[in-house]
Amino acid sequence: MKAQGTVFKYGSNVDTDVIIPARHLNTSDPAELAAHCMEDIDADFISKVKAGDIMAADKNFGCGSSREHAPIAIKASGIACVIAATFARIFYRNSINIGLPILESPEAAAGIRSGDEVEVDFSTGVIVNKTTGESWTAEPFPGFMQEIIAADGLINYIKQGGMA
């Protein structure tokens, strides 16, 4: 499974309130949430992002509350994958569970800039920066995790007979 797209790069400690501000949590509709994704630190994000694009960030991405609305908003915006140096752990879980692929690689996070064209292979963990020619290998997802992502989240994965 692969993704390729243009990168939107952010810094450290991007919290769940930045990803989707609490004032928009009166809905759980993915499209409505996506319309406000990242608006407090990158007002242009939602108008620029195309389906298949990639988000990258430095340390502790998704820190703060355990709201599943945060990865839902990112996914619904069209982002195909998030690469970060580190993720806050409940965000990490929630992303996988709702079917948003994420990869952790401090080296890749340091070597990727906004606007770069990046290709990610979820089965091998290989991240290639097509703009600079650099590449890195993140811990690849084991088979069952790839299946969760492919099934579009944990609930669908179970419906298809997964986790048995």
The residues of the shown chain that bind other proteins, judged by CB under 8 A, are 60, 63, 66, 68, 86, 88-90, 92-94, 96-98, 139, 141-142, 144-145, 148, 153-155, 158-159, 163-164
Tokens of 76: 């619904």
Shortest Å distance, C-beta 135 to other proteins: 19
**Do the bridges between strand 135-137 and strand 126-129 make them parallel or antiparallel, or are there none, so unpaired?**
antiparallel
For other proteins, the closer CB: 60 or 77:
60
CA distance 123 to 20: 29
Shortest Å distance, C-beta 67 to other proteins: 9
Shortest Å distance, C-beta 97 to other proteins: 4
For other proteins, the closer CB: 16 or 45:
16
If DSSP codes are grouped into helix, strand and coil, which group holds residue 135?
A: strand
Nearest-Å Rg of the Cα atoms of the chain is 15
If DSSP codes are grouped into helix, strand and coil, which group holds residue 94?
A: helix
Tokens of 58: 């430095």
**Phi, psi at residue 132, to the nearest 5°?**
-105, -15
For other proteins, the closer CB: 6 or 12:
12
Shortest Å distance, C-beta 108 to other proteins: 15
